[in-house]
Amino acid sequence: MKIKTWARTLGLVLILLTTACQPIDLTPVPEPVVEEVPAPPTPDSPIPTALPARPPYEPGTLVAYMAQTGDTLPVLAAHFNTTEAEIRQANPIIPGDATTLPAGFPMQIPIYYRPLWGTPYQIVPDSLFVNGPAQREFDVVAFVNDQPGWLKDYRVSLSTGNLRGGEIVNHVAVNYSLSPRLLLAMLEYQLGALTNPERPESLERYSLGYRNPQYVGLLRQLTWAANTLNNGYYAWRTGHLDTFDHLDGRTERPDPWQNPATVALHYYYSKLFPDDAYKYAVSGSGFAQTYLNLFGDPWGNVVAHIEGSLHQPALALPFAAGRSWAFTGGPHTGWGDGDPLSALDFAPPSVVGGCSEAEDPATAIADGIVVRTGDALVMLDLDGDSDERTGWVIMYLHLANDSLPAAGAVMLKGDPVGMPSCEGGRATGSHVHIARKYNGEWIPAEGALAFNLDGWVAKNGDTAYEGTMTKLGRSIRACVCSDRNSQIQASLQQ
């Protein structure tokens, strides 16, 4: 019985090495200017009473939990310090092949208390964290231009041209697949970007508070912020985030009921603000109030962007039928650094070991439309609506720029998408990097929705870029060496 069926029955709504790569924003890094960073925002009034951490529970106590969008049983087990088997025992209605749980599904979960829980107050829903369907009607440039703040007149120069105001935010939002509204609220909360016409003196330095010579200037600071937010979001989404440390050394464990978007904001502000300013930022009077003032109540009409019983569509390997390529990179970052580990790397044998010209193209792993191209990048939209924020989308990176298809091109499975190269981001060997998104959310390569390419299923290794792909009991390990144990042959009928 499928989850959607039993949900309806209950009436519920329910990412040294020869071909290693790291997709990054190639914004030029200016010379660092080491100056004092303005103090982070602190409350003018006493910190409001926050929702207190939950009390200890007796081991194995069954607690009530309503499934949230994108929840899976292994991750809930990690959050509540229990096991999937115990959750299933307490909720026998859950089918054995459950992937994502339907939002709103009521559960009883056995909990095993661990100390240092943080606040249960939730700041924004997950659907308003990602650059997904909820952002379709939002024009970030027009919105910024209508505000009195300094952001609309602020410019940065890139090798591809100048960006101004809302274009800067959109640039980061598209690359990291983060809600532009979320980024605007963050810039307003920390810098008054939308309401204060006076430009802060820190803009050409460490404007958001992250002191690192590689991240000088607003655009670089914003890319760091987006990457950090994604690290927190997807580490919680996959159950890998257990605790995080504050500037004063205090350790916090997210409340087991928390949602990934809130944990991401906790994680982000814990790296910037001392204790009082942190507590204020994550309270209802901090970031949440700024978001409310700009865009209205984020909880007023919550729509689950990851439905229950989600399954990946059938996908082929990214090279021609009958050909053998090397599996050179196991799960690693889709874009940026760290989580999410949503991407895999493949290289034609003829080019493994360097940046020579490839003889075989990377191919479309499913039918789709090229919705966007960029520096060595192709985004293939599988649902045909030409909107990257909806449905399944496949990212290809490190393709030679002179081989890219035109935006709007219709692709059939197996059609050439571009030639593997070292272009785009950082790469030391010609290869193709592929990752998946669904409704704006990066989908980790391992897990309930594991990357499955013609029956080859990905699994994480001990570190990023390691890992395996397994089909019918045979496992291939990721290796830049391109030995026989890392070769995968595409079937003649993928």
Looking at the fold, whether 243 and 362 belong to one and the same domain comes out as: no
Q: Residue 224 falls within a domain, yes or no?
A: yes
Same domain, 255 and 397: no
Domain that holds residue 337: 324-489
Confidence of residue 34 (pLDDT cuts 50, 70, 90): very low
According to the model, what pLDDT value does residue 425 have? 80
Q: Is the dihedral of CA 139, 145, 148, 150 positive or negative?
A: positive
Q: For 421-463, how does the pLDDT look when each residue is reduced to its tens digit (9 = 90+)? A: 999 987 778 999 999 999 999 999 999 999 999 999 999 999 9
Domain shared by 353 and 482, yes or no: yes
CATH number (domain holding residue 457):
2.70.70.10
pLDDT band per the 50, 70, 90 thresholds, residue 5: very low
Is residue 139 included in any domain, yes or no?
A: yes
pLDDT at site 338:
96
pLDDT digits (tens, 9 = 90+) for 94-111: 999 999 999 999 999 999
Q: How many domains does one find in the chain?
A: 2
Contact 422, 355 (CB under 8 A): yes
Q: pLDDT for 304-354, tens place per residue?
A: 999 999 999 999 999 999 999 999 999 999 999 999 999 999 999 866 567
The pLDDT, as a whole number, for residue 352 is 56
49 within some domain: no
Q: Is residue 92 part of a domain?
A: no
- In this structure, the answer to whether residues 363 and 443 fall within a common structural domain is yes
Residues 168 and 278 occupy one common structural domain: yes
Of 80, 84, 53, give the one whose Cα is nearest residue 65.
80
For the segment 40-44, the average pLDDT, to the nearest whole number, is: 54
Strand, helix or coil at 244? strand
E strand residue ranges, 25-148: 61-66, 106-111
Strand runs labelled E in 188-336: 244-245, 251-252, 324-333
Q: Are residues 402 and 447 in the same domain?
A: yes
CB 341 within 8 A of CB 329: no
Query: Is residue 442, in this structure, part of any structural domain at all?
Result: yes
pLDDT at 22: 60
Least confident window among 14-18, 108-112, 119-123, 247-251: 14-18
